């Protein structure tokens, strides 16, 4: 009998990080995919990931609305609580053999608690990494609730093992997000017009030859400062005066600070070199990155996919603190002048060679293969 | 300015494990106690711990109803989700400087998520221990969400450190539950009539000289078997034919199995040597234990307080699996004959010397002292 | 195409009030029954109605745990809120053409809000009646949310119409609970041994010739007094000294007062003429009533089914205030002497003739027929 | 002792409808105001009413986040359920003598259930009116849960009485929203620059002499059509070619349709005569209306305040269906040509005389006076 694999996707970026695995699960003769789309992945103002998911040919088994509006720390907690209430019903209906959760967003704790409390084996993708902010706590707490660990690299595996997980449950698969980057690297042509295809608002450019991309999210434990942080980046990029594709932040406590800062800047400064997008398909996004002169912001895409693609990255602030990074990354603090200087260094240097620190492009197939054959159980104990 | 210390108590046994620390916090000139009583600690049918708490002179700042009735795994998850929704409001109102959570019951995850998601430093009592069942996952996940760790012994500290916690945040305080045992050891006389003081139902005994105590909880990951497990114990104790004080189980998925098993047994077998209690004050309970010939069941009291008291314990099944134990414990499986034999061995052997593996009786004061002076922060990273 | 009829049952007594309609819906060629069992109907300690429902041959489409434990007014509200959260998901999955809700228990508001807010036509059984307490508010509020009204008698219809409902949506079907009474009246023999069949606890009687039945629920708006109220009844019935079958109350704010009162009385007074049941199948319960000398308490069964059966009823307190009643009912206040006197009057008087004020025994078929053919819509306006 | 009056405000327009009463309660020597701000009244993207409330000098006792994001019917229900869970805690903490709820938005049911289930007398402002959509059901259901009724006019009072409410509990106070209109009528000068004061986005106008105002909300039971409906209005107003101040819709299932339609229209049609606002203080908004040539849309402001102000109104579609209206209103369907024609008729006709069908401008003081002296109780029965 096939194993039922329930994957819970709670946000736009999480979809990119699991897409190749979804495809491999879907194709695998011994696996049935049960796809649950939840939280901001259902919401229009965070890019309506569910639409892209369905366009990519995946069937959605259940939709779970769980975001309590408010954009602050208390509503982050409440959304997680509501998510547990909702997801426990969903899992009780779907009765999967394994639940898969991705990375470390605050609401992934809801998936982890709902699965582990109802005695369903939990597989965790991207454990063992190190960053700043609440993500750090969430990631390792999910590791302690999980039964199977699919990690990006040897360093991550080592950390998961040192936390006491049973060695036979920890697998270095690489990160599935790199699988998409690997595909794009084979066919990197920017074969679409971003503005025509994805609308968005703001400046329209004549040529797409020399441009940068910006993606900057609020940092939870500093959310009061989110508006100030984004304003530094906005000024730096305005002064840079290159065509810029800017992506709106995902849902987090502090979103309002970041989004509000962008909106205020647009009204007051009326920048003429920025176009704003809500979302793109993962593949189009990677093509846009591959052809960019530089990525600016604090997205993990800069650390992960851009290492493989060799795209120069200016990484701002603490959000990716502690993560392994390639030579394509320059770290700076929230300071318009420092940001501008770092971009300048990248522009004069150009692209970097491909680096496999987050995977070799075959993570999805490895994960599907393992999900079909690893022994399943819910009991575990510290391995010390 | 005083630090506001919010302690969340979610069940009767958790109160015993923190009472001495509550007293020390209350007395400490630099600490203000904010006591939140939640979950089954508010419910009559689980012993109405809140009443005992108030009789002991503690002021309850907030009451949080969060148990969704049903007694199964899905409602355990839902109760936890509802608890996060409720507790995040409570913490937002109380604005404590530290939140303290105790041990590893399923619903303690609600306290841990509510505190860590709203950027309040979390102190965890009794981390680093090892058991079976869902408690094992909950305990270590809470460790990964916590900022301060008050552990029972060196072995527990070692495990917490190996999980990557910062050494300056891990303190071997001993377990506060042993503090009460230490007091009782100084004044161990059974100076009250259990039946007269605590009512309960069942047989009434002429003398309290030779009696045993039973306390057996359902084991979450095996809850279908809960009724069968308790029935083995019931038969063993009936056959033993000694006066027996039996405590109803606390709220857990599977409670209905255990409680239902006890009720059915009483109706059918009409045992003449058992009296059933819902609850007792921690001190009276320890006095009752100290004067008992043996404790039977799977309560952690047998591992912890009884080691200090030197009371013989027959520990049944997997619930305490992996926990350090003293020579006072004989482990048996769910089998009436084996249970009976083990009790027999203890009866012929008698009491054991006091063992300090879970503390020296001064944990509460140590904890209060540390809460007043440790540096507070919410950021953390794996220490590897 | 068949219409999907979703019936939500939230308590043991609600099942009796809808059973004949369920059977008729199940048999009807143009209707598909979607049965949702929720709230206390799922809970062992309120009689585990779901078991009886399945034994009666109904398939349960969804189970919804929604009772927040605590037994007070705040948890009644919270349970209702949680019920809306849960039931809106359930209705979104089942996509019924009509939702049927029964009577006026607090948690039925959850069904009514979930259905009406998601634009599903709502049919309400037993609107337009008059009682005391919170039920009164809930019942008429549900009427204002409902699109179709199946009422017990002309007086109820008149009230629903005067509240502004469209005449073409109001149907005098009789109350389906009377359908079961009509069946029992055709075959009234007490053909089972209550104690052997239903266990329960308490006294065991030699003969079942002269006995009374007691069923008394707490009254929400007076719940502090619940314990005192039940104690009056307990003393009256003890003094009566006839064999008595006593049913535990259903879940309501105040349950703990009533149940607690019963438990305390049993421990202290050790009554020798009372046997306590949790539940019975509706049919067995009506047979037990039919053969009783008298029903004592405040259940609507006394007003409704007992009118049809001609069973003498002593109705205590305000719970049924304002409801039409037959000559079989004597109303008394919470006073042991008055209760005893009223029982005495009934005992000397004997049975009463059958009265059809709550229906002629064909309500279920009428309701099913109407559900198959009434026009469906969700818009409505006051008809003034 | 003063009576504690808890007013729950859940949306921007509800604040306008109660502001004068809040002021009168605040000033009254025998009343203490407990102001709860909840739901979309807390959210930036619905105009951040809470900020305006605080600027107006009111102290907010509690903030309640309860909107589950999704903008569909299922999340409307879930938001209401979550609101009950949250508000029952809030009321338990505040222990008011009366709770006041306003009008008929979906989430006001949460206030009504939380108050009535916890036995707190509920006062309802603006009952007895008639409209289309789910509001109609909510309004009358709230009437059946309420104990005190403050209605706008005799016709509304008559309807509340016919629904069976006790005459001594129904008071024709007029609508407090008209109180603000009465103040504005005394001092109607447009003494601020809307764009400078309130930012917003879109066209900037040289003069404010001849302009129209648009405010159009989605209609719940037709929400799929929301985008199409708004597009008709957008085209009509674009063709009108007069300066236009347009207000974003409030939160409702369907918001995304309406907002999305506006955003799409702006990107594609790039209208040069529209400026878009999120919010204004109630007084500034009324001044803007008073000086407008016409109000277009489906806001109740057109029916209510504009009757008093004598402002011409083109009322589109079913949202205000059945409400009493003055001669200032022309009703049209969702058709750009009909909308344009109706505006034309108003422009050639000019302003209308003041009409008091919704009050004489003294509602707030009347309500405060009554709250201080009406007898309080929670029991009620149909008055037939």
Report whether D318 contacts D332 (CB < 8 A).
no
**How far is the CA of A46 from the CAs of A236, A282, C42, D250, D264, in angstroms?**
25, 14, 39, 19, 17
pLDDT in tens, B139-149: 999 999 999 99
Distance CA B360, CA B316 (A): 26
Which pLDDT band holds residue D273 (cuts at 50, 70, 90)?
very high
Which residue in A120, A108, A109 sits closest to B134, CA to CA? A120
Report whether C143 contacts C161 (CB < 8 A).
no
Query: What is the predicted pLDDT for the residue at A46?
Result: 82
Q: How far is CA C270 from the centre of its chain?
A: 30
With tokens 């400078």, the residue in question is D196
Q: Distance (Å) from the C-alpha of residue C133 to the closest C-alpha of chain D?
A: 6
pLDDT in tens, C166-184: 999 999 999 999 999 999 9
Which pLDDT band holds residue B109 (cuts at 50, 70, 90)?
very high
Strand ranges for D152-300 from DSSP E: 170-172, 201-202, 212-215, 244-247, 274-277, 294-297
DSSP annotation of C204 reads: -
Contacts of residue D334, defined as CB under 8 A and 6 or more positions apart, other chains included, come to: D225, D228, D229, D232, D233, D316, D317
Distance CA C35, CA D95 (A): 39
Report whether A2 contacts A94 (CB < 8 A).
no
Nearest CA in chain C to A82: C85
Query: What is the predicted pLDDT for the residue at C244?
Result: 97
Query: What is the predicted pLDDT for the residue at A275?
Result: 95
Nearest CA in chain A to B252: A117
Report whether C218 contacts C252 (CB < 8 A).
yes
3-state secondary structure of C215: strand
Query: What is the predicted pLDDT for the residue at C149?
Result: 98
- The pLDDT of residue C104 is above 80: yes
pLDDT in tens, B11-64: 988 998 999 999 999 999 999 999 999 999 999 878 789 999 999 999 999 999
Which residue in B150, B147, B148 sits closest to B175, CA to CA? B150
Strand ranges for chain D from DSSP E: 3-9, 31-38, 60-64, 98-102, 122-125, 148-151, 170-172, 201-202, 212-215, 244-247, 274-277, 294-297, 313-316, 329-332
pLDDT in tens, B233-261: 999 999 999 999 999 886 654 556 888 88
Query: What is the predicted pLDDT for the residue at B256?
Result: 67
Report whether D218 contacts D233 (CB < 8 A).
no
Report whether A229 contacts A334 (CB < 8 A).
yes
Bridge partner list, C171 = C150
With tokens 């906005």, the residue in question is A234
Which pLDDT band holds residue D221 (cuts at 50, 70, 90)?
low
Q: What is the mean pLDDT of chain D?
A: 93
Which pLDDT band holds residue A288 (cuts at 50, 70, 90)?
very high
pLDDT in tens, D80-105: 999 999 999 999 999 999 999 999 99
Distance CA A365, CA A367 (A): 5
- The pLDDT of residue C220 is above 70: no
Q: Per residue in B174-205, is it b (16+ CB within 10 Å) or e — as a string?
A: bbbbbbbbbbbbeeeeeeeebbeebebbbeeb
Q: Is the alpha carbon torsion for C344, C345, C348, C350 positive or negative?
A: negative
Which pLDDT band holds residue A384 (cuts at 50, 70, 90)?
confident
Task: From chain C, pick out residues whose CB is under 8 angstroms from the CB of D144.
Answer: 137, 140-141, 143-144, 163
Out of C43, C199, C267, whose CB is closest to B69? C43
Binary contact (C89, A86; C-beta < 8 A): yes
Lowest mean pLDDT among A253-257, A372-376, B188-192, C23-27: A253-257
Distance CA A302, CA A247 (A): 13
Which residue in A175, A219, A210, A235 sits closest to A312, CA to CA? A210
Nearest CA in chain A to D45: A256
The phi and psi torsions of B234 (rounded to 5 degrees) equal -60, -45
Query: Which has the higher per-residue pLDDT, C132 or A90?
Result: A90
Query: What is the predicted pLDDT for the residue at B204?
Result: 86
Q: Give residue ranges of D with CB < 8 Å to any A CB.
A: 40, 42-44, 65-72, 74-75, 78, 82, 199, 201, 256, 260, 267
Report whether D292 contacts D191 (CB < 8 A).
no
Binary contact (A65, D70; C-beta < 8 A): yes
Percentage of chain A surpassing pLDDT 70? 97
Which residue in D100, D108, D166 sits closest to D139, CA to CA? D108
- The pLDDT of residue C18 is above 90: yes
* Contacts made by residues D224-229, CB under 8 angstroms, sequence distance 24+: D224/D254, D224/D257, D225/D257, D225/D334, D226/D254, D226/D255, D226/D257, D226/D258, D226/D261, D227/D257, D227/D258, D227/D260, D227/D261, D227/D264, D228/D261, D228/D334, D229/D258, D229/D261, D229/D316, D229/D317, D229/D334
Contacts of residue C109, defined as CB under 8 A and 6 or more positions apart, other chains included, come to: C80, C138, C141, C142, D113
Nearest CA in chain C to A61: C93
**How far is the CA of D290 from the CAs of B171, B203, D209, D246, D312, in angstroms?**
69, 83, 12, 15, 9
Contacts of residue A373, defined as CB under 8 A and 6 or more positions apart, other chains included, come to: none
**Separation of first and last alpha carbons in chain B:** 35
Query: What is the predicted pLDDT for the residue at D132?
Result: 67
3-state secondary structure of B137: helix
Q: Distance (Å) from the C-alpha of residue A281 to the closest C-alpha of chain B?
A: 30
Which pLDDT band holds residue A78 (cuts at 50, 70, 90)?
very high
The count of other CB atoms within 10 Å of the CB of residue C349 is: 13
Q: Is the alpha carbon torsion for C11, C14, C18, C19 positive or negative?
A: positive
DSSP annotation of C329 reads: E
Task: From chain B, pick out residues whose CB is under 8 angstroms from the CB of D89.
Answer: 86, 89
Binary contact (D267, A201; C-beta < 8 A): yes
Nearest CA in chain D to C141: D141
Distance CA D354, CA D304 (A): 11
Strand ranges for chain A from DSSP E: 3-9, 31-38, 60-64, 98-102, 122-125, 148-151, 170-172, 201-202, 212-215, 244-247, 274-277, 294-297, 313-316, 329-332
Binary contact (B70, C43; C-beta < 8 A): yes
Q: Distance (Å) from the C-alpha of residue A376 to the closest C-alpha of chain B?
A: 14
Which pLDDT band holds residue D24 (cuts at 50, 70, 90)?
very high
Binary contact (D132, C92; C-beta < 8 A): no
Query: What is the predicted pLDDT for the residue at B225?
Result: 83
Which pLDDT band holds residue D215 (cuts at 50, 70, 90)?
very high
Which pLDDT band holds residue A132 (cuts at 50, 70, 90)?
low
Distance CA C291, CA C311 (A): 8
Q: Distance (Å) from the C-alpha of residue C134 to the closest C-alpha of chain A?
A: 28
Nearest CA in chain B to A76: B117
Which pLDDT band holds residue C140 (cuts at 50, 70, 90)?
very high
Binary contact (D88, C78; C-beta < 8 A): yes
Which residue in D251, A39, D77 sits closest to C81, CA to CA? D77
Complete edge-to-edge strand list for the sheet that includes strand D201-202: D201-202, D274-277, D244-247, D212-215, D294-297, D313-316, D329-332
Report whether A117 contacts B76 (CB < 8 A).
yes
Q: What is the mean pLDDT of chain B?
A: 93
pLDDT in tens, A21-35: 999 999 999 999 999
- The pLDDT of residue B328 is above 90: yes
Torsion (CA) D78, D81, D83, D88 in degrees, nearest 10: -170
Binary contact (A44, D256; C-beta < 8 A): yes
Task: Enumerate domains of chain D plus CATH numbers.
Answer: 3-175+359-373 (3.40.50.2000), 183-349 (3.40.50.2000)
Q: What is the mean pLDDT of chain C?
A: 93
Which residue in C139, C137, C146 sits closest to C165, CA to CA? C146
- The pLDDT of residue B130 is above 60: yes
Distance CA D88, CA C65 (A): 19
pLDDT in tens, D49-71: 999 999 999 999 999 999 999 98
Query: Which has the higher per-residue pLDDT, B130 or D252?
Result: B130
Mean pLDDT of C191-219: 89
Q: Give the β-pairing of B201-202 and B274-277.
A: antiparallel
Distance CA B60, CA B369 (A): 22
Binary contact (A82, C82; C-beta < 8 A): no
- Let me know if D353 is exposed, middle or buried by CB neighbors in 10 A (0-12, 13-18, 19+): exposed
- Let me know if C206 is exposed, middle or buried by CB neighbors in 10 A (0-12, 13-18, 19+): exposed
Query: Which has the higher per-residue pLDDT, C114 or B1?
Result: C114
Mean pLDDT of B114-129: 97
Query: What is the predicted pLDDT for the residue at C80?
Result: 98
Q: Distance (Å) from the C-alpha of residue D66 to the closest C-alpha of chain A?
A: 6
Report whether B148 contacts B123 (CB < 8 A).
yes
With tokens 């203490």, the residue in question is D32
Query: Which has the higher per-residue pLDDT, D21 or D203?
Result: D21
Binary contact (A88, B82; C-beta < 8 A): no
Contacts of residue A145, defined as CB under 8 A and 6 or more positions apart, other chains included, come to: A112, A113, A115, A116, A122, B137, B141
Query: What is the predicted pLDDT for the residue at B131?
Result: 81
Task: For chain B, count helices (H), then strands (E).
Answer: 16, 14
- The pLDDT of residue B375 is above 80: yes
Bridge partner list, C5 = C33, C98
């Amino acid at each position: 009998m096939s194993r039922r694999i329930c994957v819970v996707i709670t946000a736009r970026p999480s979809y990119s990080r699991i897409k190749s695995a979804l495809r491999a699960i879907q194709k695998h003769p011994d696996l049935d995919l049960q796809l649950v789309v939840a939280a901001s992945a259902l919401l229009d103002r965070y890019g309506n990931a569910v639409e892209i998911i369905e366009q990519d040919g995946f069937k959605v088994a259940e939709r779970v609305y769980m975001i309590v509006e408010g954009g602050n720390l208390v509503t982050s907690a409440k959304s997680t609580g509501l998510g547990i209430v909702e997801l426990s019903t969903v899992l009780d209906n779907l009765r999967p053999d394994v639940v898969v959760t991705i990375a470390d967003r605050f609401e992934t704790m809801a998936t982890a608690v709902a699965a582990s409390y109802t005695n369903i084996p939990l597989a965790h993708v991207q454990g063992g990494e190190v960053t700043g902010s609440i993500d750090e706590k969430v990631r390792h707490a999910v590791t302690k609730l999980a039964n199977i660990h699919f990690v990006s690299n040897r360093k991550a595996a080592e950390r998961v093992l040192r936390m006491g997980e049973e060695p036979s449950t920890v697998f270095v698969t690489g990160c599935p997000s790199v699988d998409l980057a690997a595909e794009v690297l084979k066919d990197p042509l920017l074969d679409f017009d971003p503005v025509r295809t994805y609308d968005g608002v703001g400046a329209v450019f004549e040529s797409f030859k020399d441009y940068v991309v910006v993606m900057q999210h609020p940092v939870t434990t500093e959310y009061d400062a989110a508006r100030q942080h984004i304003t530094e980046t906005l000024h730096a990029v305005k002064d840079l005066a290159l065509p810029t594709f800017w992506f709106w932040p995902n849902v987090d406590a502090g979103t309002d600070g970041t989004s509000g800062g962008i909106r205020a800047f647009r009204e007051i400064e009326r920048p003429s070199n920025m176009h704003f997008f809500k979302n793109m398909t993962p593949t189009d996004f990677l093509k846009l990155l591959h052809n960019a002169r530089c990525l600016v912001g604090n997205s993990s895409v800069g650390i992960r996919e851009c290492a493989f693609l060799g795209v120069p990255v200016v990484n701002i602030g603490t959000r990716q603190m502690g993560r392994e990074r390639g030579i394509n990354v320059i770290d700076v603090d929230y300071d318009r002048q420092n940001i501008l200087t770092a971009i300048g260094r990248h522009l004069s240097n150009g692209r970097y060679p491909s680096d496999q620190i987050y995977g070799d492009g075959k993570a999805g197939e490895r994960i599907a293969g393992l999900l079909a054959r690893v022994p399943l159980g819910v009991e575990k104990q510290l391995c010390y």
